[in-house]
Structure 1
Amino acid sequence: MNIKAELNIQSKKLELIQWLSTVEDLSVLNKIIDLKKQENKDWWNSISETEKQSVEKGLQDAEDGKLNSHSKARQLYDKWL
């Protein structure tokens, strides 16, 4: 991440902190808490069975040594990158 993007993120965080310190509406605070809980949920439980099978196949391929180098992947998929 470049320095400009990092500074922008930090600026947004400070802006949210300042705003949050002024919020008096409990329903808004509860929505923020719910959002935080959502973010902490295990992504595995939110993906489809097809996606889970794909991840499991990829892990099995890795365990079996069926891997390509980064340079090979770049060569294969360069037109989309």
Structure 2
Amino acid sequence: MNIETRKLNIINWVSHLQDEAVLSRIEQLQSQKQDWWDLISEEEKAEIKEGISQADKGETKTTEEVLSKYRKWL
């Protein structure tokens, strides 16, 4: 079942709901805003923090320097 069919099935189901508790829970889910930071792994967070630390120390590279290193894969 593709994502569009799944969404339509959920819409149909919700449109017939009479259970106030279920509707309230759906509203809670809808109002939740997840920060991408909470969705990434600890390893990814550590890499980002290391990058920020390097940038703060001026340890950066130009786009051209990075591209020249990885151009063989592009």
**Fold shared by both chains (TM-score > 0.5):** yes
Q: Deviations over 1:29-65 (max 9, x none)?
A: x5xx95x667x41111111111111100001111111
Q: Which amino acid counterpart does residue 74 of structure 1 have in structure 2?
A: L
Distance 1:51 1:37 in 2: 26
Matches within 5 A, 1:36-47: 40-47=33-40
Distance 2:47 2:14 in 1: 41
Matches within 5 A, 1:1-80: 23-26=11-14, 34=29, 40-80=33-73
Q: TM-score, normalised by structure 1?
A: 0.53
Distance 2:69 2:31 in 1: 39
**Unpaired segments ≥5 residues, structure 2:** 16-25
Distance 1:37 1:45 in 2: 16
Distance 1:63 1:78 in 2: 26
| Identity, % of aligned positions | 33
Query: What is the count of residue pairs matched by the alignment?
Result: 57
Q: TM-score, normalised by structure 2?
A: 0.58
- The structure showing larger relative contact order (alpha-carbon pairs under 8 Å, at least 6 residues apart) is 2
Which stretches of structure 1, 4 residues or more, deviate above 2 A after TM superposition? none
